[in-house]
Amino acid sequence: MSKNNSYLSNYFHRNGRALGSIGYFVLLMVIFLIGAPEAWIRPNLHQSVFVMMPTLIFLTIPLVFLVASGEIDLSFASTYAVAAYVFALLVKNGVDPAICLVLGIFTGAAIGALVGTLIVVFRLSSLVASLGVLFLLRGVILLLSNSRSITIMEVENHWIYPLLVGNFYGFPMQIFWAAIFVIFCYYFFNKHVFGIHIQHVGDNSVSAEQMGINVNAVKIKAFMFVGVGAAIGGIFTTMITYTFFPTQGFGYLLLALAAVFVGGTPYWGGLGTIIGAVFGVGIIAYMEIGIIAIGWSGEWRQFFNGLIILLALLGHRLHGERVR
Partner 1 sequence: MENIIELDNVTKRFGGITALNKASLKVTRGEVVGLIGDNGAGKSTLIKTLVGVYSPDEGDILIRGKKVNAWNALKARESGIETVFQDRALTPQQSIVKNIFMGKELRYPFGFIKEKEQIFEANRLIREIGFTSKLIKAESPVGNLSGGERQGVAIARAIYNKAELIVLDEPTNNLSLNETQKVFDFVLNVKKSNRSVLFIGHNIYHVYDISDRFVILDRGEVVHKLDKNDISTPEELMKIMRDTIGAH
CA–CA distance from 103 to each of 83, 120, 240, 305 (Å)?
Answer: 8, 25, 18, 35
- Which of 153, 314, 318, 323 touches partner 1 by CB under 8 A? 323
Q: Are 297 and 311 in contact (CB under 8 A)?
A: no
- Which of 1, 212, 297, 299 touches partner 1 by CB under 8 A? 212
- Which of 2, 146, 167, 297 touches partner 1 by CB under 8 A? 2
The yes or no reply on residue 4 touching partner 1 (CB under 8 A) is no
The yes or no reply on residue 71 touching partner 1 (CB under 8 A) is no
Q: Are 197 and 221 in contact (CB under 8 A)?
A: no
The yes or no reply on residue 92 touching partner 1 (CB under 8 A) is no
- Which of 120, 213, 222, 287 touches partner 1 by CB under 8 A? 213
Q: Which amino acid belongs to residue 261?
A: F
CA 295 to CA 297: how far, in whole Å?
7
Segment interacting with partner 1, rule: CB under 8 A, options 104-112, 131-139, 153-161, 193-201: 193-201
Give 42 or 191: the residue with its C-beta nearer to partner 1: 191
The yes or no reply on residue 301 touching partner 1 (CB under 8 A) is no
Segment interacting with partner 1, rule: CB under 8 A, options 27-35, 190-198, 221-229, 302-310: 190-198
Q: What is the 3-state secondary structure (H, E, C) of 273-296?
A: CHHHHHHHHHHHHHHHHHHHHCCC
CA–CA distance from 284 to each of 122, 130, 214, 305 (Å)?
Answer: 35, 23, 35, 7
Listed residue (176, 202, 239) closest to 322, CA to CA: 202
- Which of 194, 296, 300, 304 touches partner 1 by CB under 8 A? 194
Number of residues that bind partner 1 (CB under 8 A): 33
Segment interacting with partner 1, rule: CB under 8 A, options 152-160, 186-194, 222-230, 245-253: 186-194
Give 46 or 319: the residue with its C-beta nearer to partner 1: 319
CA 175 to CA 164: how far, in whole Å?
9
Provide the minimum distance between the beta carbon of 216 and partner 1 in the complex, in angstroms, as a whole number. Answer: 12
Listed residue (15, 54, 65, 81) closest to 276, CA to CA: 15
The yes or no reply on residue 192 touching partner 1 (CB under 8 A) is yes
Listed residue (105, 244, 125) closest to 133, CA to CA: 125
Give 158 or 221: the residue with its C-beta nearer to partner 1: 221
Indicate the DSSP class of residue 321.
Answer: -
Listed residue (261, 239, 242) closest to 305, CA to CA: 261
Binding track, positions 5-34, relative to partner 1; x by CB under 8 A: xxx--x--xx--------------------
Indicate the DSSP class of residue 246.
Answer: T
Listed residue (271, 259, 260, 258) closest to 320, CA to CA: 271
Site residues for partner 1, window 223-282 (CB under 8 A)?
270-271
Provide the minimum distance between the beta carbon of 312 and partner 1 in the complex, in angstroms, as a whole number. Answer: 20
The yes or no reply on residue 1 touching partner 1 (CB under 8 A) is no
Contact residues toward partner 1 (CB under 8 A) are 2-3, 5-7, 10, 13-14, 187, 191-194, 196-197, 199-200, 203-204, 206-214, 270-271, 322-324
